Amino acid sequence: MLILVLAGTAMTGCKSDNKSNLDLDGSTMINALRLDEYDAVIDNKGKTAVVNVPSDYDLTAMVVRRLDLQPGAEADMNIGETVDCSVPRNIRITNGDVLTNYTLTVARDNVEINSALLNGRYAGSIDNVARTIIFFVPLDEEVGTASLSFTAPEGTTFDPVPGTVLNLNDPVTIKATYRTCTVPYTVTAIKDDMSQDPKAFVGNAESIDGLGDEAKAAAEWMMANVPNSRFVSLAKVLDGSEKLGDYKMIWCHLDFTDWPGIMWDTRDIFNDYYIKGGNILATRDGARYINDVWRIAKDQQSPNNMFGGEFYETLENDLGFSVAGYETHPLYNGLTPDENGRIMLLEKGVSCSNRTLQWVVDWDAYGDMSVWETKTGATALATDGDANHVHIAEFAPRDILDGYQSGRVVTIGTPGYEWHDPNHAANQYRENIYTLTKNAINYLCK
C-alpha cells in the first residue's frame, strides 16, 4: 500500500511539469515573394516557391523585392538582398520555436510542343531541342494548302495560329510562345511511301540520349525518318504507363551488354503483345529474345551462333549478306544485289564490331534447313553466302491463343547491320541500311 501511495504521489507531481515552454503557435507560411519584377508561385503545403523568368535571364544576381510573412515570422532572406538563384536554395522561416524550410527555384521559361498534326491526320516528329517538326505524308497528299494543330502546355500560343492555311511544299517557320519565351520552329513536310501506322523504338533507357551508341544511332534515325514513330522506355512498359498494344510494330535494336536486364522483367508483356498480333523487328541482340523470353521461336531457342560486339575493328573488305534465292521478298525492294547475290551494308575502311547472331542449321541442334524451319517456325531470308548460315529470318503469324493470330517477327543478325561507327568513316552503302530498315518496318505494318 505504501508503494502505491508513493507512486501515485510521484505521478501527481509529474503532471504539473508537462506544460512545455516552447512557443509553437506561430505560422511560418510565406504569403508572397518577388525577385526583381517576377512573383513566385508559393506552395505552402509542399514548401516550395517557384519563380519563372525569361529564357535568357541572368539568375546569378536577383534582388528580393518583396517577402511577406505571417505576423511574428522571420526569414534568413531579407528585402533588398541580392541572391544567386542559378541553383535551388533554401529559405529558412522561423516563428517562435516553429521552423520551416522552403525550397526556392528560379526556372527559365521554355517552349515545349507535345504533339503536332498536319491536316488532322499526320503526326509530326518533334525535336524541341533543334526546334524542328517533320511530317511524313503519303506521296499523293496535298501539302500546298495544309493546316497544323498542336498540343502544348496551357498558355502556349502560335504564330500563325493553328488552322491557318500554309504552303508546306517548302519548309515554313512558325513561332511558339510560352509566357516570356518565343522560339521559331522549322516545319517540313516530306512525301514518303512509308506506313502511317504508329510505331515505337523500344529501349532500355529513359530517353534516347541514355542509350548506348549503337542503339542511339538507330533510334535517332527512326525518329527523324519514320512517320508516326516514338521512343518507348522499357521502364514505362514495365510500370504500365506505355502500352505496346498502341503500336502496329515495335523495333528492338539492342546491344549484347543489355542481356537480359529489364527485358526479362517485361517478357510477359512482350509475349502478350506478340500473340495478340503485335509485330516486332528484332535486330542485333534484339534477335536473342525470340527464345523463352518472348516465346516467339517454336523451340524457344535463340540463334545458336552468336559472337563479336566487344571491340571495333576497321574492315578490310566490304561487308554485307547474301539474298540469293530470296530476291523478291519485300524486305529487298529497291536493293540491288551484286553479281554474287550480295547486298552490301558497310564499306571497306568502316569500323565494325562484327556482332553476329546467326543460326547454323547444319549443326546438331537441327541438321538441315527443313528441320530448322520445322523446329523454329521460321523462314530464312538471308545468309552470309553459306546456305546453312541464316542471318535474316522471318516468323510468320500463327494461331497461338484462341481468338487471336500472332504478329509477324523479322530478325536481322548479320554483322554488317551496324549503325554506329566510332570513326565516322564514309560509307557508300549507308542508304542500303536505311532502305532495308524502311522495308522491314513497312512490311511489318501491312
Q: Give SS3 for 225.
A: helix
pLDDT digits (tens, 9 = 90+) for 344-368: 999 999 999 999 999 999 999 999 9
Cell of 374: 520445322
Query: pLDDT tens across 212-241, in order?
Result: 999 999 999 999 899 889 999 999 999 999
How many angstroms separate the CA atoms of 40 and 67, rounded? 10
Count CB-CB contacts under 10 A for residue 330: 10
**pTM of the entire predicted model:** 0.72
Evaluated on CA atoms 333, 339, 343, 345, the torsion sign reads negative
pLDDT score, position 256: 85
What's the average model confidence in pLDDT over 265-279? 97
Q: What is the pLDDT of residues 122-173, one digit of tens each?
A: 989 898 989 999 999 988 899 999 999 999 999 999 999 999 999 999 999 9
Confidence of residue 180 (pLDDT cuts 50, 70, 90): confident
Specify the pLDDT at position 414: 98
In DSSP notation, 58-110 reads --SSEEEEEEEE-TT-EESS-TT-EE--SS-EEEEEEETTEEEEEEEEEEE--
252-263 average pLDDT score: 90
User: Model confidence at 337, in pLDDT bands (50, 70, 90)?
Assistant: very high
Each residue of 63-74: pLDDT tens digit? 999 999 999 999
Nearest partner of 302 among 388, 393, 215, 436, judged by Cα: 393
- For residues 363 and 80, what is the distance between their CA atoms, to the nearest angstrom? 81
Q: What cell was used for 389?
A: 548460315
Dist CA 254 CA 252 (whole Å): 6
| pLDDT at residue 3 tops 60 | no
Write down all domains in the chain, each with its CATH number in brackets. 30-108 (2.60.40.2340), 115-191 (2.60.40.2340), 199-445 (3.40.50.880)
Is the predicted pLDDT of residue 314 greater than 80, yes or no? yes
Q: How confident is the model at residue 56 (pLDDT cuts 50, 70, 90)?
A: confident
Asked whether the predicted pLDDT for residue 22 surpasses 80, the reply is: no
The overall average pLDDT reported for the chain is 93
Residue 188 has pLDDT above 50, yes or no: yes
> Quick one: pLDDT at residue 9?
46
Residue 375 · residue 296 · CB < 8 Å: no
Which spans in 292-380 are helix H?
A: 369-376
Q: What is the pLDDT of residue 428?
A: 96
CA distances from 417 to 316, 356, 412, 420, 434 (A): 16, 9, 7, 10, 10
The confidence score (pLDDT) of residue 21 equals 65
| pLDDT category of residue 17 using cuts at 50, 70 and 90 | low
